[in-house]
């Protein structure tokens, strides 16, 4: 990886396929349930401790998603997103932080425009090839298995380095 991450002030992430392994379970009440990695949540917390804001931009609409990110205390939360670039621009507008100082992790077509717009666009190994081609970095870990934590640690290492 050749890009410096010292100037990254915000890390935003998709949920399904990035913070989960793409598997969704339907419980006996008819509600969707996802499997999240504790490592990713700890990565968010570690970034927040050094002053980097974290957030979610997801098309998902689920109690499990809302509950997970309320618990983590993310700084920005966009659910049911139909236009992720619009949500990115909302973050930029509200914070005054330019997109070049934002990192984003996504894995599917809805994420492509954001990945291309931010200063550090990231994807996961099982992402579409078109997403990998446009990303600055592809994680070694799979979505739902510490991929977000891996990016968090890269940012921390560059800032401390």
What digits encode the pLDDT tens for the residues 15-38?
999 999 998 888 888 888 898 999
pLDDT for position 43: 97
Cα separations (Å) of 26 from 33, 60, 62, 104, 116? Answer: 6, 14, 11, 28, 33
- Render pLDDT for 88-102 as a digit per residue (tens, 0 to 9): 999 999 999 999 999
Look at residue 136 and tell me whether its pLDDT is greater than 80: yes
For domain 10-160, give the CATH number: 3.40.50.1000
Look at residue 1 and tell me whether its pLDDT is greater than 70: no
| Burial class of residue 94 (count of CB atoms within 10 Å of its CB; 0-12, 13-18, 19+) | exposed
Domain-wise residue ranges, the chain = 10-160
pLDDT for position 32: 82
- Both tokens of 9, joined, read 């002030």
Residue (of 101, 34, 47) closest to 74 by Cα position: 47
pLDDT for position 30: 84
Look at residue 2 and tell me whether its pLDDT is greater than 70: no
DSSP 57: E
CB 63 within 8 A of CB 85: no
Query: What is the percent of the chain with per-residue pLDDT over 90, rounded to a whole number?
Result: 86
């Amino acid at each position: 990886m050749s890009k410096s991450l010292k100037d990254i002030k915000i890390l935003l992430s998709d949920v399904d396929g990035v913070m989960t392994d793409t598997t969704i379970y339907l419980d006996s009440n008819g509600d969707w349930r996802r499997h999240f990695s504790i490592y990713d949540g700890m990565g968010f917390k570690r970034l927040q401790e050094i002053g980097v804001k974290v957030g979610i931009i997801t098309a998902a609409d689920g109690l499990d998603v809302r509950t997970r990110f309320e618990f983590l205390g993310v700084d920005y939360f966009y659910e049911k997103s139909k236009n992720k670039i619009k949500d990115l621009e909302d973050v930029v507008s509200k914070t005054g932080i330019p997109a070049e100082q934002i990192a984003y992790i996504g894995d599917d077509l809805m994420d492509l425009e954001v990945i291309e717009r931010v200063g550090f666009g990231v994807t996961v190994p099982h992402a579409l090839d078109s997403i990998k081609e446009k990303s600055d970095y592809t994680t070694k870990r799979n979505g739902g298995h510490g991929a977000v934590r891996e990016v968090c640690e890269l940012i921390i290492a560059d800032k401390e380095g």
